[in-house]
Structure 1
Amino acid sequence: MRITYLTQYFRTPPMGGGTRAYEFARRLVAAGHDVTVLTGLPPAGSAGGALPAEAAGARVVWLPVACDNRMGFRRRLGAFGAYACGAAARGRRVPADLVFATSTPLTVAVPAVAVARRWAAPVVLEIRDLWPQLPIDFGALRSPAARRAGFALERWAYRHADEIVALTPGIADSIRDRFPGASVHLVPNGADADVFADADARGAALRAREAWLGERPMLLYAGTVGLANGVDYLVRLAAALARHAPRACVVVLGTGNRRADVGAAAAAAGVLERNLYLRDPVGKEEAAAWFGASTLTVSTLVDLPSLQGSAPNKVFDSLAARRPVAANYGGWLTDLLVAAGAGLYLPPGDPDAAARALAGWLADPDRLAAARRAAAEVADRHFRRDALFSRFHDVLRDAAAPTRTATPTPSI
């Protein structure tokens, strides 16, 4: 089957960031499909050289559209529109038996439908965030007209999708509740155990060469430092940890449009380069070393209803590296980790209480060892990439079948 894969954010492992599209594209190729990825440019410098025209057998077309979290929302809206136009034009020149498009942004549905109509192909649409509710919650879509346009785009996109893939149970339930006729399948993010197989050894080597780290307990935040992520919480947490677990440190491995603010707040609080360290993002292999060096990892989000129940990439990388996760938000994933003993919930409004809870974990080697085993078990039982790809592949094949008989996939 000839598959056109639309994603504005395609990242190969050396680039770092979320690699779900890469992992699925390479497995589609291995399953015998002809895959063409139409994507935008990665952040400057992240590719480490020339952009590859092929990734694991999939052709990759890099449209000349840059978009990353360091941009303001207006610039990003412009980039969304430019990508939609470029992908529609290029996709109409690439024969396709199926078009798969993944958000965000939801505007990716526009070129997906245009390309699908050109080739009389079905459309499978993947929803990673609930748009337009998310930008509305952040105040990016303020006028009634903009909000109406956002919801009109959402209705249009779901109506034209033959199948919909949702990344979380909350997203799946929201779409099913509001659009009863939609065919929705839950395919959550995955843990790549093979990528993190030697994380412990890599972590030990990293600790040996980073004198400031040594044998200190380390909490790792690896990901975007943007408006939705609420990483300023970690500044307050680091200040509290200085009282309750003086040897512990927090590492923020990433960049984004709030990184400078986080650095300034950390300096003002007196924790920058003392027990909170800002480091630049790295590729997946180097990230494995940081995860392997961590005692546990941290995932933070701002307190908005549309973000509760999210499933950030960093959580799945942590599970693949056999590291427990501390999260300051609720929802299905946090509930699953806490119930399994693979994580803990941090009160979002009380960093001092969070620091006390973390100090208890850090002082208990047996609990940490059990939590690592639990993290590995959760990764294997619920989030093996190969098993999730099989579910995803079934959705695509059913969408392309002459007589479509797809049934929604079960919840976790």
Structure 2
Amino acid sequence: MRIVYLHQYFNTPEQHGSTRSYEFARRLAARGHDVHIVTSERGERTSGKWSTTAVEGFTVHWRHVPYSNDMSAASRLKAFATFAMAAAGQARRLRGDVVFATSTPLTIFVPAWYAVAFRRTPLVFEIRDSWPSVPIALGYLRNPVAQFLARCLERKAYRRSAHIIALSPGMKEEACLHGARPDRVTVIPNAADVGLFDVDQSAGVAWRDSHEIARDVPLVVYAGTLGAANEVEYLVNVAAEARSLNPQVVFAIMGTGAREENIRDLAARKGLLNTTVRLMRPVPKNEIPAFFSAADITTSVVTDNAAMNANSANKFFDSLAAGRSIAINHGGWQAELIQERGVGLVLDRHDYSAAARQLVEFVEDSSRLLEAGQQALALAKSQFSRDDLAARLADVLESVSSSRDNRLTG
């Protein structure tokens, strides 16, 4: 069948950022489906025309729409609307047997809805974040009218879709609270790419050497967006406390975003910049395995808001795939997994000193690190294999397409 796959921020492994759609698309193509990604190109190119490329057995349709994490809220909304309008016609022209739209942003539903309007084509909608609940909770969407319209669009998306994919149990609960039918929601979390992260130990050693980080010092890493939702300043504050406990511990923070300069300034004010805290530019996804191989423990942090507990951060699953322990600073389903399976730490969110003690004691215990890493890899293979989760997605898409065909012939 032909799958029209809408994702505004699609990335290949040669780009930095999530590659969930890439990994799923190539597996859907390998299963025999004709897959067409409709996405945006965010680089320097200024052409407003569509271009296509063949990638791993599927086709990617690109339209230039500028976007970056440090844009203002108004500029982001403009980018969302611009892409939604451009993608609507392209998605409809492709005439898929099923349309699969993945958020964020929530506006991705608009071109998907248009693509199936007055047709019997089924629509499957994927929730990567609890939109608009998260931007409302974090204060990004304050206007009551805008909130009302966003909730209307959310409910329309849930009711119009033949099926919903949620990236966490919490996201499923949120969707059902706002109109989704529980029997039409399947949880497919982010995945662990064990093959990608199965690198020789020498890769991590080489990474440390190239960044002048001694091979024997404890290394705590973060790889991801440096935005308000992540509040990576938390790690800088923990690093300040950790230095008094063990001055050798290094925190390597890799990423970019709206809070990058705030983080840099905070590290400088605390006398940590370029010593205890190393800030690094993001790298393509295929270079992250060496970075994680160098780590003793990885981290995934969010701002102090209960709405963030349902997140399904890629860095969490990348850590499992790399066989590395992980530390997070929030509750929810990932915290429960960490505690149940012994794969890392749930850090104190409000007490930096307590969090630093947790972290330093953990990285100084080599046997504990080894055990947690082994448990992390076992968990990656048993519950979060990319192949298994891609097969689950394929089953959903094939099922809704088959139901549509049965209705047409019945």
TM-score w.r.t. the length of structure 2 is 0.94
Say if 1:199 and 1:354 are closer, same or farther in 2 by CA, change over 3 A. Answer: farther
Distance 1:118 1:71 in 2: 36
Say if 1:43 and 1:345 are closer, same or farther in 2 by CA, change over 3 A. Answer: farther
Letter in 1 for 2:145: A
Gaps of 5+ in 2: 46-50
Deviation (angstroms), 1:199? 5.3
Kindly indicate whether residue 192 of structure 2 is the aligned counterpart of residue 197 of structure 1: no
Deviation (angstroms), 1:64? 1.4
Distance 2:158 2:64 in 1: 28
Instruction: Please give the residue correspondences for 1:54-73 in structure 2 after superposition, counting only pairs within 5 Å.
Output: 54-73=54-73
1:229 aligns to what SS in structure 2? coil
Deviation per residue, 1:218-256 (Å, 9 max, x gap): 100000001100100011011011011211110111101
The answer (yes or no) to whether the contact 2:35–2:59 under 8 Å persists in 1 is yes
Spell out structure 1 runs of 4+ moving beyond 4 A. none
Distance 2:145 2:230 in 1: 28
Kindly indicate whether residue 347 of structure 2 is the aligned counterpart of residue 342 of structure 1: no
Map of 2:136 onto structure 1: 136
RMSD: 1.7
Deviation (angstroms), 1:178? 3.5
Distance 2:384 2:198 in 1: 15
Map of 1:385 onto structure 2: 386
Deviation (angstroms), 1:358? 1.1
Map of 2:395 onto structure 1: 394
Deviation (angstroms), 1:159? 1.2
Distance 2:22 2:119 in 1: 24
Deviation per residue, 1:303-358 (Å, 9 max, x gap): 11211131211111111110010001111012101221101011111111111111
Map of 1:185 onto structure 2: 186
Deviation per residue, 1:139-163 (Å, 9 max, x gap): 2221221111111111111111110
Letter in 2 for 1:127: I
Map of 1:237 onto structure 2: 238
Map of 2:296 onto structure 1: 295
The answer (yes or no) to whether the contact 1:334–1:343 under 8 Å persists in 2 is no
Which is worse superposed, 240-249 or 208-217?
A: 208-217
Which is worse superposed, 208-217 or 19-28?
A: 208-217
The answer (yes or no) to whether the contact 1:36–1:59 under 8 Å persists in 2 is yes
The answer (yes or no) to whether the contact 1:199–1:321 under 8 Å persists in 2 is no
Distance 1:180 1:29 in 2: 29
Q: How much identity, in percent, do the aligned residues show?
A: 41
TM-score w.r.t. the length of structure 1 is 0.94
Distance 1:191 1:118 in 2: 38
Map of 1:410 onto structure 2: none
Letter in 2 for 1:72: S
Deviation (angstroms), 1:205? 1.5
1:298 aligns to what SS in structure 2? strand
Distance 1:338 1:43 in 2: 41
2:308 aligns to what SS in structure 1? coil
Map of 1:151 onto structure 2: 151
Deviation per residue, 1:368-400 (Å, 9 max, x gap): 110110110111111001111111111111111
2:327 aligns to what SS in structure 1? strand
Map of 2:48 onto structure 1: none
The answer (yes or no) to whether the contact 2:159–2:180 under 8 Å persists in 1 is no
Gaps of 5+ in 1: 46-50, 406-412
Say if 1:82 and 1:211 are closer, same or farther in 2 by CA, change over 3 A. Answer: same
Map of 1:331 onto structure 2: 332
Map of 1:259 onto structure 2: 260
Aligned pair count? 400
Say if 1:245 and 1:404 are closer, same or farther in 2 by CA, change over 3 A. Answer: farther
Letter in 2 for 1:316: F
Map of 1:79 onto structure 2: 79
Distance 1:180 1:167 in 2: 14
Map of 1:30 onto structure 2: 30
2:82 aligns to what SS in structure 1? helix
Map of 2:20 onto structure 1: 20
Distance 1:130 1:332 in 2: 14
Letter in 1 for 2:83: Y
Distance 2:178 2:146 in 1: 20
Map of 2:377 onto structure 1: 376
